[in-house]
Amino acid sequence: MNRAADGAGPSGGIQGRIKRLIIDENLEPGAPLPTEVELVQRLGVSRNSVREALKALQAVGIVEVRHGFGTFVGSMSLEPFVEALTFRTVLGQRQGRQSLLELLELREAVEAGLVRRVVGRIPEDDLTRLRHLVGVMRQDAESPEGHARTDREFHVTLYQALDNPLLSEVLDAFWDALHQVSGDLAQPHRPSETWREHQEILKAVRAGDASRAEDAVRRHFDDIRARLTRTAAAG
Amino acid sequence: MNRAADGAGPSGGIQGRIKRLIIDENLEPGAPLPTEVELVQRLGVSRNSVREALKALQAVGIVEVRHGFGTFVGSMSLEPFVEALTFRTVLGQRQGRQSLLELLELREAVEAGLVRRVVGRIPEDDLTRLRHLVGVMRQDAESPEGHARTDREFHVTLYQALDNPLLSEVLDAFWDALHQVSGDLAQPHRPSETWREHQEILKAVRAGDASRAEDAVRRHFDDIRARLTRTAAAG
DNA sequence: AGAGGTCCAACGTCCTACGTCCTATGTCCT
DNA sequence: AGGACATAGGACGTAGGACGTTGGACCTCT
């Protein structure tokens, strides 16, 4: 029964009452919230309590506070979740758990299953874009920074055809978390031959072969796993 | 560049410094953190600031505060994420977006892909348990509360064989979010014939037929979608 | 009309005091 | 001796006030 202790539902909790205020007034992301002082008056608590509640809501993206300007309804992106997952994974890794591997294989399991579905459904524009991205990877295969962004866009674009913005966000969140953890634990790797694996995925998807696409994705993650387990040993 | 504004990495931010403290001292979940007063001294800031930082970290599960006892390293479960996702979905739904449908189809897309993989890998114990759960669903098909818990355990048990605790947690988080949103937006439904769908999934999995299992999962979600779109219209 | 500076509402930090809760310790009873 | 109960202390929770800092809005001057 930590419902009250944590997010504090619509019960007496300050956070819950602010959340309820957003719901009741149907405020969209970006809409202004009452000022801290107004909330103090409305909720009948001290400014300290109001600020702590806002800070907690800000931490999960429900509220956005802009210094000297006001408080607003937040974007509620998955970024706070990514940060927490990153932290948790880094900490777990330091404590002997295989949390990095778990995160990687979470991505593998999900994406390998999804790629089957996306086969044959990718519009021509996206295919063109994917082909272009593979080309970019092949070209500047030496820039770790640029490669990351390209790799990210490839994965995002690949699953765009599933036509589910939330799904895309979630996949991107997992990508981001893995990326950040890798950056914290391992040395920046040489992109090496990664572009080939992406090309294989793209070819299989274009060919309309679901099983081959799934295999290609798994091979891609096999390669990442190899690199990661190699460098993470010196964690 | 909202890294500093949000979680505040190891930069000057108080949150970041507390997170760094956990990492540096390699504290496991449940381990005690310095008291607020000690943190005040260590970090050289006021108690207010310390408390706000702790509140933010608590909101994402990194820290757990127990009234009158102390602050501890949190469990870092996905529960805060579930709550945020729930809130976001409810709010989005009220604002005309199809966020509930998105959440449902996120689960469908992911689980339909995963069930193919789990085919033929479920140990006998789990299969027995799954069969039992289907039986339970069939029996007390009238208790909405009990049915929810059984349904949840079915899905958790089904994907247990993938042997990835993080994946299980994520799937459970999605289940939980959808469940909470449904509770907030729709009337409690009559479990009706859901048990049959679960039985179909189980039979396909036992038969080792990946495609049939995927279809069974999709049919299951089709049914949920039908119920949801029917009752959510009166939101 | 545009560039610049000023004003001020609103958030950020700090300090102090007091209330509340939980645990641990110790006592008393059985 | 062992357990139930009362107590004391530490630690978090809330409150109120004061001052610093920021950034958008408005006004002025050119």
Percent of chain B scored above 90 by pLDDT?
82
Q: For residue B145, with 0-12 CB atoms within 10 Å meaning exposed, 13-18 middle and 19 or more buried, which class applies?
A: exposed
How confident is the model at residue B8, as a pLDDT?
54
How confident is the model at residue B145, as a pLDDT?
78
How confident is the model at residue A8, as a pLDDT?
54
Q: How many CB atoms lie within 10 A of CB A53?
A: 24
> Using CA atoms, how far apart are residues A8 and A81, in angstroms rounded to an integer?
18
Set of chain B residues whose Cβ sits within 8 Å of the Cβ of A74: none
What residues contact residue B191 under an 8 Å CB cut-off, 6+ apart?
A: B137, B141, B142, B143, B144, B147
Does residue B138 carry a pLDDT above 50? yes
Residue A6 and residue B80: Cβ atoms within 8 Å?
yes
The answer to whether A204 and A212 have CB atoms below 8 angstroms apart is yes
The answer to which of A200-204, B113-117, B198-202, B224-228 has the lowest mean pLDDT is B224-228
Exposure string for A173-187, b = 16+ CB within 10 A, e = fewer: bbbbbbbbbbebbbe
Does residue B186 carry a pLDDT above 80? no
Does residue A33 carry a pLDDT above 60? yes
Average pLDDT over residues B28-43: 98
How confident is the model at residue B29, as a pLDDT?
98
| Structure letter (DSSP) for residue B188 | P
Tell me the per-residue pLDDT of B46-66, one tens digit each, with 9 for 90 and over: 999 999 999 999 999 999 999
Q: State whether the beta carbon of A70 lies below 7 angstroms from any atom of strand C.
A: yes
CA–C1' span, B37 to D6, in Å?
29
Angle at A113 between CA A109 and CA A116, to 5 degrees: 150
Angle at B99 between CA B214 and CA B55, to 5 degrees: 110
Tell me the per-residue pLDDT of A121-172, one tens digit each, with 9 for 90 and over: 999 999 999 999 999 999 876 777 788 999 999 999 999 999 999 999 999 9
> Using CA atoms, how far apart are residues A61 and B6, in angstroms rounded to an integer?
9
Set of chain A residues whose Cβ sits within 8 Å of the Cβ of B106: 164, 166-167, 170
Helix (H) or strand (E) holding B79: helix B79-94
SS3 A218: helix
The answer to which of A55-69, B6-20, B142-156, B215-229 has the lowest mean pLDDT is B6-20
Helix (H) or strand (E) holding B189: none
Please give, one letter per residue, the 3-state secondary structure of A19-59: HHHHHHCCCCCCCECCCHHHHHHHHCCCHHHHHHHHHHHHH
Does residue B110 carry a pLDDT above 90? yes
Q: State whether the beta carbon of B139 lies below 7 angstroms from any atom of strand C.
A: no
Name all domains of chain A by residue range, CATH numbers in brackets: 14-73 (1.10.10.10), 79-234 (1.20.120.530)
Which of residues A73 and A183 earns the better pLDDT score? A73
Residue A103 and residue B60: Cβ atoms within 8 Å?
no
Residue B110 and residue A112: Cβ atoms within 8 Å?
no
pLDDT band (50, 70, 90) for residue A3: very low
Does residue B3 carry a pLDDT above 90? no
Does residue B84 carry a pLDDT above 50? yes
